[in-house]
Amino acid sequence: MSAPWTAETWPIAAAMIPFPGMLPDGSLVQDAPAETWAATLAEVAAAGFDAVDPTDSWLRIADLDKARRAEFLDICRDLRLGIPAISTSRRSVIDPAHGADHLAYGHRVIDTAAELGVGHVSFGFFGPLTPAQQRATWFWTEQGPRNPDDPATYRLAVERICDLARHAEGCGVTIALEMYEDTYLGTARDAVRFVTEVDHPAVRLNIDIGNLIRLHRPVEPWAEMIRLCLPFAGYWHVKNYYRMEDSATGQVMTHPAPLLGGTINWRAAINAALDLGFDSPFLVEHYGGDGLGVCAQNRDYIRTILAGRRSRHDQTV
């Protein structure tokens, strides 16, 4: 980072999860004409965003040929949308059937990030949605794939992330590993253990604790997760959920919420990160409803936190 970001310039990217990767006619966004991409990205820009993460559940820019990638970049430039990071989704490098292919894809993502001057990429160990998850109103209410409780597979996960890390370091790219249930990053302590075992300067944690708070099961308190993981924080996916627990029956219910209104106190979490020198971009996410509109509100909320931080500093100097 050449100069400290301000509340106005801190990169806060829109996630593309509100937009499906398949068009109404059954064709893929990946294969769509550039005009289709432009129409979607124009919505992002109209919502007030100046940054976008081309999340690969929507479009795999690392798998576009040179000409198509140039078309994508021209659209972003025309709309004044920067790309601070690239996130991958459900392409685990230890997938039992496709792990080697996903590893090769991960290297292409790093190469693409380096080519475009993108400083951050996000990887995770979560697998594709099961049929039950695809049918559910909220996919996290159904059990998804689990990483195996197997030392050999765990070691393979460490080795493959180290392989990506060596590549990323040589390209000036930082990897963020996304926290997600039932993976080797499925609790705060598991995530800290894994990133410590990788022990590489190019690897940080994507402390996406919303993925865990939304589960209909007991989870660690959000503040404890933040406390344990912040020393390793990198590119950060942020979202919130209402979490309701019935202590008499043990029943848990959750629902997507704006950052300002859910269970996680994001003002406290972000301020704690800044106290430790956090200096990576944010990605705002939301499921359901007008996801893009809520993401825009979340972006503005983060900027008020950052501005308050600046104001507090000004009063003490």
27-52 residue pLDDT tens: 999 999 999 999 999 999 999 999 99
- Torsions phi, psi for 177 (to 5 deg): -95, 125
State yes or no: pLDDT of 317 exceeds 50: no
State yes or no: pLDDT of 179 exceeds 80: yes
Express as a percent the part of the chain with pLDDT over 90: 96
- Torsions phi, psi for 23 (to 5 deg): -85, 165
Neighbours of 196 (CB within 10 A): 9
State yes or no: pLDDT of 248 exceeds 90: yes
Q: How many helices and strands, by DSSP H and E, does the chain display?
A: 10, 9
Average pLDDT of the chain is: 96
What pLDDT is attached to residue 81?
Answer: 98
What pLDDT is attached to residue 314?
Answer: 47
What residues contact residue 41 under an 8 Å CB cut-off, 6+ apart?
52, 75, 76, 79, 81
Segments in 14-61 forming alpha helices (H): 34-46
State yes or no: pLDDT of 316 exceeds 50: no
Q: If pLDDT is split at 50, 70 and 90, which confidence band does 312 have?
A: low
Tell me which fold the domain 12-314 belongs to.
TIM Barrel (3.20.20)
- Torsions phi, psi for 165 (to 5 deg): -65, -40
Question: 84-137, pLDDT tens digit by residue?
Answer: 999 999 999 999 999 999 999 999 999 999 999 999 999 999 999 999 999 999
pTM of the model: 0.95
